[in-house]
Amino acid sequence: MFCTRCGIQMSDLDKFCSQCGNLAPGPASANASTASAAASVQPPATTVTYTIEPQPQLTRSLRNRKIAGVCAGIGRHFGVDPTVVRVLFLAMFFCPVLPAFIPYIVCWVVMPLERPEPLPQQPQQPYYGRQPLAQMSR
């Protein structure tokens, strides 16, 4: 017996296809489908789609940096304002158990710098020497 949806070979005792989950054709599936339909009425299936947006990499910031860009990189990675991260690091600085400068220095060494975005290339007009006076006055 073969699955009607994906074409994979199934044994005669299978009620569902192991590949795609389709109800197997034949007497076993007919008994199963009538018994399950009589036992309970199922609500219509709803389709839920999820979109996964890529999370920014944990890198030190080049643009929004005060000392090394660690707090700005952590803030960008977790979607928090870098000022909040800086205030937390400042509050942890006075913690007697683990001062904040140790994790900051570790992050400074371990976290890579972000790659600078290339500037968009604008098409350049050919230069033929001097420009006419009408174009220079504009």
When mean pLDDT is compared across 25-39, 52-66, 80-94, 105-119, the lowest value belongs to 25-39
Q: With beta carbons less than 8 A apart as the criterion, state whether 19 and 6 touch.
A: yes
Crossing angle for the helix pair 82-93 and 101-110, to the nearest 10 degrees: 130
**Averaged over 11-17, what is the pLDDT?**
78
Q: Is the pLDDT of residue 46 over 60?
A: yes
Q: Is the pLDDT of residue 59 over 80?
A: yes
What is the distance between the alpha carbons of residues 85 and 91, in angstroms, rounded to a whole number? 10
Band (pLDDT 50/70/90 cuts) for residue 92 is confident
The answer to whether the CB of 67 falls within 8 A of the CB of 111 is no
In the block, tokens 């960008």 appear at 76
Closest CA to 111 of 81, 67, 79: 67
What is the structure's pLDDT at 128?
Answer: 63
Q: Report residue 7 as tokens.
A: 């074409």
Q: Are 92 and 101 in contact (CB under 8 A)?
A: no
Of 80 and 34, the one with more pLDDT: 80
Reported as a pLDDT band with limits 50, 70 and 90, residue 84 is very high
Tokens of 79: 């979607």
In this structure, what token pair is assigned to residue 63?
A: 């643009």
